[in-house]
Structure 1
């Protein structure tokens, strides 16, 4: 019987001791505060129930079950919690390892709690054994098990719905925030629709609400911020909610099945209050809201939309900024720190009036005029004065268009802005993907310096949001991401469509289900003249491609959502194609069925795959004659680099000079085949949390100049053969916390200039042979590692120790590519 699962007072006492340890640890181990807070809440719920079940056992005269296993788990849990409380907050490299253990403990407690609660509800004499059996089966079907996470960014980009960063000194939103909060706290209201035209600040206000003190006190850890966008899928939203709370992400068979388990998920959070924010619901997608509308106490939904969606509960309409606030926002962008200006005040007022109080327009227009002569300001005034008082979307786009025209004297920067529309709306865009594109389209430098500079310029003009999750002094930009307002994306698409079909520089194609554009079906199909082609396909697409004529395309961006994906047949006719970017949006990777097709493109130089399952022998099934660079992010690699009976890796990839593998889920050992690629100059294996070993054959890669193993938290050692890499200039082993010793052969790296050791173990052994690294200029590390280097500094004249001030920005996680 379920009630008999509780085995006496000793169990209650054990839980009590664990609770004491958790409370103690919360006050000391701040880096684990969120996990411990949840665990404390669970324990406080469990202990009273145990006492009730013990009394129930006596009344029903049910035998006690053997509880040795759960008792042992509780005892080990107490030891783990006490150990965590002794970890200094500066030892952040220990967090992934212990966070995983704490979450595993939390999983056991939750599972036990669910079973005990079910038993308590059945104490009226029903067959509790059957109840628990059903519960266990339901848990098994749901697979609601807490998933162990090994790093602060939660297994790569698949991360929780981290709340957006709070705004600093928001202007003109104090009153709307107060009014919106009152509406949301109304007990008679379950859903509030926050509506306003695009660019008016809906999302900004919603983000501000997330960090309001009273809102956080009421909803605690149950605040979910979900960006929905124009073509949402219920499945992707629900999967993100499950992931956010640490549950295994399920695959749902039907919509009914999905809605049922969504309701069960939300009820499992009760009686705690829940706030679900659905950002950017389009009118044509309002039926989605019906799926979330459950009768659950203290469950609130906030929706942001361009439409008021009047059939859904209460509505709050956000008004444009008043004249005073509009002037402040504009001047902050236009004049920066220089509050005194020689621009005529009347000109400024007329421009501000022309922006009609829309924060987006005020910021973009203001920044475009910053530092410009008065004549440019007057021209802007005249352009804005031509429009009426009703500020519709088209007019706002025209207003923003005039600001984009300010980039006419910076053609490449403007083209870079236009290229951003190649990626889906409201999704983070990896800077590394843009670097690949722009290196070929505009001959920008391979290292990405000019590309990143262009992104900073666009960010300074408020045309994009550039988020740097963490700066990398080695010149690696895998933690740089771009977000673009959907209205600015529409502007770029509109601008591109103004040219005739044959003369367009870029072509954006969206395929919903199998509904291809009409021009694709014409007998005399027009030829795509642009150099950039981007194609979006949704979950219902069956890879039923039309025949697109695109002989001039040099960059192909494929954005997909299906579990299997076939490359288009016309792919083989793109003789000028140099860059291929394939990104799967969703939780589970896509499988490219005709992967060898990639080898038919003779000029292909760069391949970037994100969330793709690469088949066995994928990169050795054919020859990739001119391929220079491979980037694999969140990919299942398997045997992708294994040699076939006829083709060796060195023959399949004869000109490959750079390979980047980031967040691979199944990379345990670096494939020996990669060590045949002696022409490699850059090797980056980062955030591969299961990587434990490097082959000794890595010493064969004698042309390597840059090697990165950062974030490989299980990597135990560097092989002694690494000393053969005589051309190596940069070595990055940051956050490789299991490496306890640098090999003696490191002395042979006579060209080594930079060594990155941020987050390494403070017990790592530095061999005396380090003194032979006469050309080593920089060691970038944290304070503890700096102390280990101190004895060597005086003897290495060129060496400078740079102590890293950890600056991790998690704001990019609130949107993770779904």
Structure 2
């Protein structure tokens, strides 16, 4: 059902573009009435069949056949845009209309059956139930283990110890380890804290690189997500020696989550030094024998929850801090009991119940009862499948798309949603962008406990996410059943793929190397090709996949390959690209263009592409827009939201007016005059702005919509910082390397009213006079390479303040003294030590593992190195 729905929605996007093509794209003649009629047929099937009957489960042969016919017809109709002949286009549209008409007749015949199978657990239009904060994992029943493991990690025993957590899939091993890992006491106890998830398909190089990258990140709470391939050419022993050298002499904690094979431990253990300083390794695994073989002490075995614990977990996930209504407690306890004490099953069912009308809980109970009765030991997968069956149809393609990503892969949310948009999963809605709707879809999946949050942006939005391995298995099973996507988990040889019209149109290389690419024949149905195989050439070619809409690869994409991707909506690749006007004019459907590592040179025709949504590169050369004339009329790029990173950006009024809805802008090495910086205020939707090496003398205007501002080398005098402090929505401010100049900063009252994160680095600042009215919402303060003499003592009264991080400064002793004073003041004010304590890290260059001192309220030094 998901594949059919996705094909129909994607078709509507394509037909809309045919009906309203870009001005420079001269489409062949076509019958507009026929296209409109086909569009109406597609909308009918979406509205009256798929959406209204999305939870039938596809368990009836007639319905399954109908879904296949819908999908094949929609995908066939969508290919008409590639036609270069008016006759072929007209014939293709007529054929599609006939197919849809036949489907409608069949729909009428089975309508009564379909209506009888409509799920009665449809999502309530609104719900007053409070949900747990995004990213918060509830833990029930493991408090004793938590205390014992924290004790084992922090004991005075100096030799290197390995602590193992063992239990079946879904029982909560990772949740328990996460709670331990994130405890402030544990964070403060070690120089280096690293978390690494080991997939079932691994290489020694991937594990070593992963560990090194995390250790070398500058801040444990702000880990970078991009790959750093500087060490990729090293062999395994070289990488292992680097790991050993990096950890040598430091007190470290390494968490290796979800180990399946003793070989993983054997290959990594030889590079982990025993520094005789209390370093620890924590391992989670499903295999007791493996845990006993590698552990220094008896494994912590997690047992299934009892009935009361099961009900506690279920009710907490549904109602958060509120109590379950008395009239629902009996049936709720019955459902909890049937989940057999498995936390993952309870959490997923809680997601179903939280989105269901309360009068329909009895039907959920019947589904759970059936799952337990019929599946025996495989009850967990059957219960998890209930969560998929109860999803609204518009969420099913989005959920199945997680099958495209490798196991245990941290997925960038921005990338994920752009892919959803390019795949055509998201229907248009007035007053909202497709990306905003996609964010709502993801939030819905998170609230249903199907997707887990990894990291949050400083502004609170979800930055990266992933899927539990058992739910990932479910995702792949359902994707295979629905012919939604083929991954390396299913096929290892491309030349063995079925070449039929019912074959999945999406291919993903995410499980090792695919073979047979060179022998792969012409395969017209393929619309999406994703590769996560770093440094392993896939030898893909657009000639084999001429209808590609999505190309997301880590390899270089030759220019002649892009030239043939006439239907592409999404292209992400590596390497320098210089696009001529002839290339760009062919890419009339292009929405997202991402080029990593090299230069991206764009022609002036970029300003004639209103369908563009995101353009990203390490260095983009963007030409001036052409002047309007009879041939080139002024076109507003109203869909463009991201432009990053542009060399010598021309901040003219003409440019600003052409990109009215831009949300993210990054520019470097500009030669912007003072009269042009005021034009930034014309970008009324801009939320993120980064300016590198742009002297900003004279008048400057920032739009009030800004949430994040990063400046480098802009040389704004401190006395003129009100232009930033007055921004009403600003939450993140980074001032780097002479972004601000002068020795004294006295903010004005009421400024920086919503600022949560402030980082000042390598700026001329010695005296800072401020109080709690200037930064009332500040949560994190980071200072580095300054001549600052003290932190304003009034900061003790900033209630939300959680952390002060100090990198190397000339006056570290003075800053340390002011931090002690702030700690004492906060204690006197009665602030909770855990929630309102201040962490001060003082070190060489601020990297993890450098010597530092951690201070909490009351001058209590928890650790000193």
What TM-score does the superposition give when structure 1 sets the normalisation length?
A: 0.60
CA deviation vs aligned residue, 1:52-95 (integer Å, no higher than 9, x gap): xxxxxxxxxxxxxxxxxxxxxxxxxxxxxxxxxxxxxxxxxxxx
The yes-or-no answer on 1:203 pairing with 2:174 is yes
d(CA) in 2 for partners of 1:567 and 1:454? Answer: 31
Aligned to 2:572: 609
Q: Is the 8 A contact 1:703 1:727 kept in 2?
A: no
Q: Does 1:561 align with 2:538?
A: no
Asked if 2 retains the 8 angstrom alpha-carbon contact of 1:200 and 1:320, the reply is yes
Aligned to 2:395: 413
Equivalents in 2 of 1:335, 1:456: separation in Å? 17
Is 1:175 the counterpart of 2:144? The answer is: yes
Deviation at 1:347, TM superposition (A): 2.6
Tell me, yes or no, if structure 1 residue 547 matches structure 2 residue 511.
Answer: no
Give CA deviations for 1:545-569 in whole Å, capped at 9, x if unaligned: 6236352x55443333225453335
Which residue, out of 287, 293, 313, partners 2:269? 293
Unaligned regions of 5+ residues in structure 2, if any? 1-133, 218-227, 628-633, 734-744, 752-773, 783-865
Q: Secondary structure at the match of 2:510?
A: strand
Structure 2 residue corresponding to 1:591, chosen from 556, 568, 574: 556
Kindly indicate whether the alpha-carbon contact (under 8 Å) linking 2:397 and 2:425 is maintained by their aligned counterparts in 1. Answer: no
Task: Report what 1:626 is aligned to.
Answer: 588
Aligned to 1:483: 466
Give the secondary structure class of the aligned counterpart of 2:195.
strand
Please give the alpha-carbon distance, in whole angstroms, between the structure 2 residues aligned to 1:466 and 1:602.
Answer: 36
1:763 equivalent in alignment to 2:739: no
Q: CA deviation at 1:203?
A: 1.0
Question: Structure 2 matches for 1:341-740, cutoff 5 A?
Answer: 341-343=325-327, 345-370=329-354, 372-373=356-357, 376-386=360-370, 394-407=378-391, 410-439=392-421, 440-445=424-429, 446-466=433-453, 469-470=456-457, 480-499=463-482, 504=483, 506-510=484-488, 515-516=492-493, 519-520=496-497, 525-530=499-504, 532-536=506-510, 538=512, 544=518, 546-547=520-521, 549-551=523-525, 553-562=526-535, 564-569=537-542, 571-574=544-547, 577-578=548-549, 580-584=550-554, 590-592=555-557, 594-604=558-568, 606-609=569-572, 612-617=574-579, 623-632=585-594, 635-638=596-599, 640-641=600-601, 649-651=603-605, 654-655=608-609, 657-658=611-612, 660-662=614-616, 664-665=617-618, 667=619, 670-673=620-623, 675=625, 679=635, 680-681=637-638, 688=645, 693-695=648-650, 699=654, 702-707=657-662, 717=672, 720-721=675-676, 728-731=683-686, 734=689, 736=691
The match for 1:271 is 249
Q: How much does 1:766 deviate?
A: 7.2
My pick for the range that moved more, 485-494 or 261-270, is 261-270
Distance (Å, rounded) in 1 between the aligned partners of 2:747 and 2:185: 42
- Residue 265 of structure 2 contacts residue 294 of structure 2 at CA under 8 Å; is this kept in 1? no
Deviations 1:486-509 (A, max 9, x none): 21121122122234xxxx2x1122
For 1:700 and 1:345, locate their aligned partners in 2 and report how far apart those are by CA, in whole Å.
60
- Decide whether aligned partners of structure 1 residues 260 and 349 sit closer, same or farther in structure 2, where only a CA change above 3 A counts: same
Question: Is it true that 1:235 corresponds to 2:205 in the alignment?
Answer: yes
CA distance in 2, matches of 1:216, 1:778: 34
Superposed CA deviations along residues 600-628 of structure 1, whole A, max 9, x for unmatched, are 23322x22426x22344488756433134
Residues 471 and 189 of structure 1: is their aligned pair in 2 closer, same or farther, counting only changes over 3 Å? closer
Cα distance in 2 between the residues matched to 1:214 and 1:767: 37
Q: Within 5 A, what are the aligned runs for 1:105-120?
A: none
TM-score, with structure 2 as normaliser? 0.57
User: Alpha-carbon deviation of 1:700?
Assistant: 5.0
Aligned to 1:324: 308
Q: In 2, Cα distance between the equivalents of 1:603 and 1:332?
A: 47
Q: Tell me the SS of whatever aligns to 2:473.
A: helix
Provide closer, same or farther for how the CA distance between residues 197 and 650 of structure 1 changes in structure 2, counting only shifts above 3 A: same
Distance 1:617 1:804, change over 3 A: farther
CA distance in 2, matches of 1:651, 1:538: 39
CA deviation profile, 1:428-472 (whole Å, cap 9, x unmatched): 323333433443234345442221111122111111134673377
Q: For residue 214 of structure 2, what is the aligned residue in structure 1?
A: 244
What's the C-alpha RMSD, in Å, of the aligned pairs?
4.7
Given the superposition, is the C-alpha separation of residues 167 and 706 from structure 1 closer, same or farther in structure 2, using an over 3 Å criterion?
closer
Partner SS for 2:589: coil
Compared CA separation, residues 753 and 658, structure 1 to 2 (3 A): farther
In 2, Cα distance between the equivalents of 1:510 and 1:528?
A: 19
Structure 1: distance between partners of 2:259 and 2:732: 44
Between the aligned partners of 2:211 and 2:779, the Cα distance in structure 1 is 27
CA positional deviation for 1:781 = 6.7
- 2:282 corresponds in structure 1 to 302
Find the residue that maps to 1:730 and give its secondary structure. coil
In structure 2, how many angstroms separate the alpha carbons of the residues matched to 1:693 and 1:788?
A: 36
Matched, 1:312 2:262: no
Q: How far apart in 1 are the matches of 2:781 and 2:528? A: 31
Counterpart for residue 850 of structure 2: none
* Structure 2 counterparts to residues 70-109 of structure 1, below 5 A: none
Taking the aligned partners of 1:767 and 1:187, their CA distance within structure 2 comes to 50
Kept in 1, the 8 Å contact 2:399–2:445? The answer is: yes
CA distance in structure 1 between the aligned counterparts of 2:370 and 2:708, rounded to whole angstroms: 59
Q: Distance in 2 between matches of 1:337 and 1:426?
A: 31
Question: Structure 1 residues 386, 486: CA separation in 2 closer, same or farther (over 3 Å shift)?
Answer: same
Q: Deviations over 1:664-691 (max 9, x none)?
A: 54x2xx5143645964446666775xx7
Aligned length: 581
- Gapped regions of structure 1 (runs ≥ 5): 1-164, 585-589, 643-648, 771-775, 791-801, 811-818
Listed one character per residue, the Cα deviations across residues 161-192 of structure 1 (whole Å, up to 9, x for unaligned) are xxxx9967732222122344566667787444
Note the alpha carbon deviations across 1:579-611, whole angstroms, 9 max, x for none. x14143xxxxx323x34222223322x22426x
**Structure 2 partner of 1:54:** none
Show the counterpart of 2:131. Answer: none
> Is 436-445 or 612-621 further displaced after alignment?
612-621
Q: How far does residue 704 in structure 1 lie from its aligned partner after superposition? A: 1.9
Question: How far apart, CA to CA, are the structure 2 residues paired with 1:281 and 1:272?
Answer: 24
Quote the Cα distance in structure 2 between the aligned partners of 1:695 and 1:376. Answer: 58
1:212-241 deviation digits (Å, cap 9, x = unpaired) = 4664455x1222211121212221222233
Does the C-alpha gap of structure 1 residues 272 and 555 become closer, same or farther in structure 2, counting only changes over 3 Å? closer
Match of 2:237 among 243, 254, 259: 259
Distance 1:301 1:742, change over 3 A: same
User: How far apart, in 2, do the equivalents of 1:244 and 1:805 lie?
Assistant: 29
Deviation sequence 1:400-434 (CA, Å, 0-9, x none): 11122222xx2102332222222222223233334
